[in-house]
Amino acid sequence: MAASARRTSRRVIVPSNRFGLLVVFYDSGQPTAREQTNATSSIQVPSPLSSRASIICNQACRRHAQTMPKTQRSRGNIMRTSKWNITGALAILAFISAADAQTVRPALDSIEAHLAAGKNAAGGRDDTPDFYGLVTAICVAPLNAPPRPDAPAPTMNPNQASTYLGPKKAFDDLYWMGTPSRSTWALTTSDGIILYDTQGVYDAEAVIVGGLKKFGLDAAKVKYVIVSHAHQNEVGGAKLMQERYGAHIVMGAGDWDMVDQSVNGFPKGKPKRDIVATDGMKITLGGRTVTIYLTPGHTPGAISGIFQVHDHGKPLTVAYSGGTEFNFVNDVPHFDTYLASVRRFAAIAAAAGATIIMGNQSQFDSAAPRLRMLADRRPGEAHPLDVGAAAVARYFKIEDECAQAARLKLLAQQHDFTQPRR
């Protein structure tokens, strides 16, 4: 009885339909005769964690015991040969407790509340700038998987004449070139051009080189190309700008890796690994600076930026969002990464006083239609792209709220999948 009183045992097996079978042992003292007899039996004891953490020694214990000589098949020996110690056990128990705390199914109304908040942030009421394209893309019909490294090669656009939009001079020192869905921005300086994003591989020549030429700008003056992320319609023209014009390519490390891993994405060849973006890196040319921030989520190496432009000499601050849609691995950790990046860059943009939001997809920031409004701009009116700090904050709120909704949906699906069938 004395020996029994001094004994301490813990065994936790998390249900295999959640985490796979995880057995934690901690044992002190000698096994009793009853334990020796029942070493390979199913034994249940009260759970210190929750009813969802079953305390059952089942087939895993039996398989482990069967590998030992019969004379050693006591429960104490089985436990000791498993090489678990109290430190490891407590760490895993803490992990299980944290995971178990997330097993409550997110309420449907909480998911809908986040979606409603995201949609309400779109604006469009009382003459506020609207972001309905963004809401549609990530709140109404979001993508939910990353492009495959072996995805089919991009194809040439058969309707280039009808889909390419005329380039626009957006500000004193910033030019826009693109299509209804994709943007390339050229920031001009006294020492050359900083280019942001490069269109698709078959579009870059006409859209970028041709677009610059229409303004009397030479593509050979492009010194830096900042690629927000390595999807086909952003990185496609990087090799052209690097190989033909000698521009430096700036991209996040994770996205350089994506380029390396791509099988069919570069039918004209891949750009050579060049400048790897770091957090807070400054790209300076001709007295102008783009400050880069790592914002992983949309892709592993997505980067965003802060820089200034001028509207009739007036300086304005731009927040360039480096990646938006949910076409990444849809699981909770990836959404956590995405949300952390959105919130951090939103705070950076606010601290910088950004009143302009830009990105690589013109249907999100409404670049193309807003630039068309320049033709009717009256003296004293705000620039159509100068939407104000509150609107910039709303843009990030849409991303935040709709990502939270998608994350909660995943948790709800996991909860339903792991519940025992009745």
Same domain assignment for residues 193 and 142 = yes
Same domain assignment for residues 38 and 131 = no
Would you say residue 376 lies in a domain? yes
State how far the alpha carbon of 292 is from the alpha carbons of 68, 254, 345, 347, in Å.
Answer: 59, 15, 10, 14
Q: Which of 93-97, 208-212, 402-406 has the lowest mean pLDDT?
A: 93-97
Q: Which two tokens stand for residue 240?
A: 């052209």
**Domains of the chain: total:** 2
Same domain assignment for residues 200 and 275 = yes
Same domain assignment for residues 353 and 389 = yes
Among the candidates 79, 100, 121, a domain finishes at: 100
pLDDT classification of 68: cutoffs 50, 70, 90: low
Residue 268 to residue 43: CA distance in whole angstroms: 64
Over residues 120-146, the pLDDT tens digits come to 999 877 677 789 999 999 999 898 888
Q: Which of 111-125, 165-179, 305-319, 405-419 has the lowest mean pLDDT?
A: 405-419
- Of 201 and 17, the structure prediction assigns the larger pLDDT to 201
Residue 32 to residue 2: CA distance in whole angstroms: 12
Same domain assignment for residues 290 and 379 = yes
Are 44 and 55 in contact by the 8 Å Cβ rule? The answer is yes
Would you say residue 106 lies in a domain? no
Strand 303-311 relative to strand 288-294, pairing = antiparallel
- Find the domain containing 46 and state its range: 2-100
Same domain assignment for residues 70 and 130 = no
Same domain assignment for residues 151 and 294 = yes
CATH at residue 277: 3.60.15.10
Q: What residue type is assigned to position 414 of the chain?
A: Q
Q: What is the mean pLDDT of the chain?
A: 80
Q: Of 44, 84, 89, 93, nearest to 64 (Cα)?
A: 84
Q: Is the pLDDT of residue 34 over 50?
A: no
Same domain assignment for residues 318 and 407 = yes
Segment 34-44 shows an average pLDDT of: 35
Are 304 and 322 in contact by the 8 Å Cβ rule? The answer is yes
Q: Which of 93-97, 201-205, 307-311 has the lowest mean pLDDT?
A: 93-97
Q: Is the pLDDT of residue 23 over 80?
A: no
b/e per residue, 193-230, with b = 16+ CB within 10 A?
bbbbbbbbbbbbeebbbebbeeeebebebbbbbbbbbb
- Look at residue 124 in the predicted model and tell me its pLDDT: 78
Over residues 173-205, the pLDDT tens digits come to 999 999 888 999 999 999 999 999 999 999 999
Residue 79 to residue 64: CA distance in whole angstroms: 10
Same domain assignment for residues 327 and 269 = yes
Would you say residue 369 lies in a domain? yes
Among the candidates 100, 126, 149, a domain finishes at: 100
pLDDT classification of 78: cutoffs 50, 70, 90: very low
pLDDT classification of 233: cutoffs 50, 70, 90: confident
pLDDT classification of 417: cutoffs 50, 70, 90: low
Would you say residue 249 lies in a domain? yes
pLDDT classification of 332: cutoffs 50, 70, 90: very high
Are 316 and 308 in contact by the 8 Å Cβ rule? The answer is yes
In whole angstroms, what separates CA 53 from the centre of its chain?
32
Strand boundaries in 356-403, DSSP class E: 356-359
Residue 224 to residue 216: CA distance in whole angstroms: 19
Among the candidates 41, 74, 100, a domain finishes at: 100
Start-to-end Cα distance in the chain: 42
Q: Which two tokens stand for residue 23?
A: 């057995």
Would you say residue 144 lies in a domain? yes
- Of 77 and 139, the structure prediction assigns the larger pLDDT to 139
Would you say residue 278 lies in a domain? yes
Residue 200 to residue 154: CA distance in whole angstroms: 8
**Residue percentage of the chain with pLDDT more than 90:** 59
Would you say residue 105 lies in a domain? no
Total residue length of the chain: 422
Same domain assignment for residues 173 and 72 = no
pLDDT classification of 54: cutoffs 50, 70, 90: very low
- Look at residue 328 in the predicted model and tell me its pLDDT: 94
- Look at residue 418 in the predicted model and tell me its pLDDT: 58
Same domain assignment for residues 403 and 283 = yes
Q: Which two tokens stand for residue 34?
A: 């009853």
Would you say residue 339 lies in a domain? yes
Same domain assignment for residues 143 and 64 = no
Q: What residue type is assigned to position 192 of the chain?
A: G
